[in-house]
Structures are given as structure tokens and as C-alpha cells.
């Protein structure tokens, strides 16, 4: 099952990578002229990117917390060290997610 997901995600990535330059000019022109000259396409993409970054961070931090609780249940005497490592890892994940949200919002707000 894991191999099928990996192959599917790779195929999706290659398809998006190959098709985006071909349709870029038409998409931006259509989005710009769609509603009163406002570029809704880039704003939607930025919001989508920021939302996906937040969802990814939430899933990652949830898995970190779940694994830490399982580890503490197995070895209660290591709870202090496991807690410190959990907090450090969650902070790193949150930092990357914050960076991704800022980049996503910049995509939406900056006019090209």
C-alpha cells in the first residue's frame, strides 16, 4: 500500500510539474479577467498553500505527541527526556509550518 501511495504521489507531482508551464499564461490571464480584473487565482493558491501547511503541521505534531505518550507509557522513568525531545521536535515542525504559511500568504498578496 505504501508503494502505491508513493508511486501515485510521484506521478501527480510529475504531471503538475510538466503541465504548469504549458498552461501558466492562460491561467493567469483567465484569473485576472475573471472578476473585475482581480487576480483571484493567486490569492486562492496562497490561501490553499497556507492551509495545507497548517494541516500538515497539525498532523505532524499530533503524531509526535502520540509517539511520545506511547514511549512514556513503555518507559515511565524516561518521561522527562522524552518530553524535552518532544517539545524540541514540535517546535521545529511548527517553525517550518510558520515559514510555509508566510510563503503561502506572500504568494497570495504579492502582485507579479
**Residues 24 and 47 grouped into a single domain:** no
**Residues 94 and 62 grouped into a single domain:** yes
Measured between alpha carbons, how far is residue 34 from residues 29, 81, 111 in Å? 8, 55, 16
For residues 90-100, average pLDDT: 91
* For residue 77, pLDDT beyond 90: yes
Range of the domain at 18: 1-30
**Residues 50 and 104 grouped into a single domain:** yes
**Residues 21 and 76 grouped into a single domain:** no
**Residues 25 and 56 grouped into a single domain:** no
**Residues 19 and 67 grouped into a single domain:** no
- Please state, in angstroms and rounded to a whole number, the distance separating the CA atoms of residues 38 and 32: 5
Query: Which pTM value belongs to this model?
Result: 0.58
Quote the pLDDT of residue 46.
76
**Residues 24 and 52 grouped into a single domain:** no
Quote the pLDDT of residue 52.
87
**Residues 3 and 51 grouped into a single domain:** no
Mean pLDDT across the chain:
75
**DSSP symbols for 28-63:** HHHHHHHBTTB-HHHHHHHHHHHHHHHHHHHHHHHH
Q: How many domains does the chain have?
A: 2
Amino acid at each position: 500500500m505504501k508503494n502505491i501511495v508513493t508511486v501515485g504521489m510521484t506521478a501527480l507531482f510529475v504531471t503538475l510539474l510538466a503541465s504548469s508551464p504549458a498552461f501558466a499564461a492562460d491561467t493567469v490571464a483567465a484569473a485576472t479577467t475573471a472578476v473585475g480584473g482581480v487576480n483571484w487565482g493567486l490569492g486562492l493558491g496562497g490561501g490553499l498553500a497556507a492551509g495545507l501547511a497548517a494541516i500538515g503541521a497539525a498532523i505532524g505534531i499530533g503524531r509526535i505527541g502520540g509517539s511520545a505518550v506511547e514511549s512514556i507509557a513503555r518507559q515511565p522513568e524516561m518521561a522527562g527526556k522524552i518530553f524535552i525531545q518532544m517539545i524540541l521536535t514540535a517546535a521545529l515542525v511548527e517553525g517550518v509550518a510558520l515559514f510555509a504559511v508566510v510563503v503561502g500568504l506572500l504568494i497570495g498578496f504579492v502582485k507579479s
